[in-house]
Amino acid sequence: MFSGIVEEMGAVQAIEKNLAGAKFSILASVILNDLQVGDSVSVSGACLTATTIEDKSFLVDVSTETLNCTHFGTITVGTPLNLERAMKLNARMSGHLVTGHVDGVGTLRVREQDGNAIYVTVEASEDIMRYCVAKGSITMDGISLTINSVTEHSFSVAIIPHTAKVTTIGLKQVGDVVNLESDLIGKYVERLLQANGTFPAPAVPIIDKDYLQKRGLL
């Protein structure tokens, strides 16, 4: 479990792809202080396990499923990544409850300066937008953010100067893709309402060519 408060920006040092997925070597410094083999790390929002610890980097295995539901399938050597170690139970909850299980990706459609903040609008799928509410929380590339406004197909957030400086969100431009995780509490509420019949269950998707193409499986 994570809080969405990024500890540092790392960078991809090496990528090794194979039939089972991929292996990333990630440059880091702060999070290596007490990182152990087997520990969970939020890597731009995806919970990955450290398999090897080196002096200035650590290695993670990335499954095919993770490559498909995140933007990791397109990153290259040198790509910056947001890093956060798993939270401690006695730590302050500065962000919100983040599992590191990415629901899907979104695309930046608007980026504009708004006073001292950067105003960003992200287009996302219905599966993500159903849990988005104004003043609610969302995780974008591992960053806990507050939603300012919501439309049918997008949501907007304000990025303060500190967040823009210490995370990758300050580097993102219109057209860039980000990993998204919806608020966990909303998912539980929906599931409980479905169980007692108060809320209809989501429609079962039709697995056709269009469905597979939208998810990068073709």
Averages of pLDDT over each 10 residues, the chain, 218 residues: 96 94 97 96 98 97 95 96 93 88 97 94 95 96 97 96 96 97 85 73 65 61
Question: What pLDDT score was predicted for residue 147?
Answer: 97
Question: What pLDDT score was predicted for residue 145?
Answer: 97
Distances (CA, A) of 198 to 175, 181, 192, 194: 38, 25, 9, 6
Its sign, for the CA torsion 183, 84, 108, 68, is negative
From 30, 57, 85, give the residue that closes a domain.
85
129 within 8 A of 150, measured Cβ to Cβ = yes
Question: What pLDDT score was predicted for residue 120?
Answer: 97
Q: Cα separation of 5 and 8, whole Å? A: 9
Question: What pLDDT score was predicted for residue 62?
Answer: 97
Question: Do 129 and 160 belong to one domain?
Answer: yes
Question: What pLDDT score was predicted for residue 50?
Answer: 98
Selection from 171, 5, 8 nearest residue 83 by Cα:
8
Task: Say how far residue 52 (Cα) sits from the centre of its chain.
Answer: 22
pTM here is: 0.86
Question: What pLDDT score was predicted for residue 4?
Answer: 95
Residue 3, in any domain of the structure? no
Q: Which two tokens stand for residue 175?
A: 């057209």
CATH number at residue 116: 2.40.30.20
Spell out the SS3 assignment of the chain.
CECCCCCEEEEEEEEEEECCEEEEEEECCHHHCCCCCCCEEEECCEEEEEEEECCCEEEEEEEHHHHHHCHHHHCCCCCEEEEEECCCCCCCCCCCCECCCCCEEEEEEEEEEECCEEEEEEECCHHHHCCCCCCCEEEECCEEEEEEEECCCEEEEEECHHHHHHCHHHHCCCCCEEEEEECHHHHHHHHHHHHCCCCCCCCCCCCCHHHHHHCCCC
Task: Provide the domain limits for residue 145.
Answer: 104-194
Bridge partner residues of 147 (DSSP): 157
Question: What pLDDT score was predicted for residue 90?
Answer: 83
- How many domains is the chain built from? 2
Question: What pLDDT score was predicted for residue 3?
Answer: 94
Residue 183, in any domain of the structure? yes
Its sign, for the CA torsion 85, 3, 188, 130, is negative
Residue 91, in any domain of the structure? no
Residue 57, in any domain of the structure? yes
Residue 154, in any domain of the structure? yes
133 within 8 A of 185, measured Cβ to Cβ = no
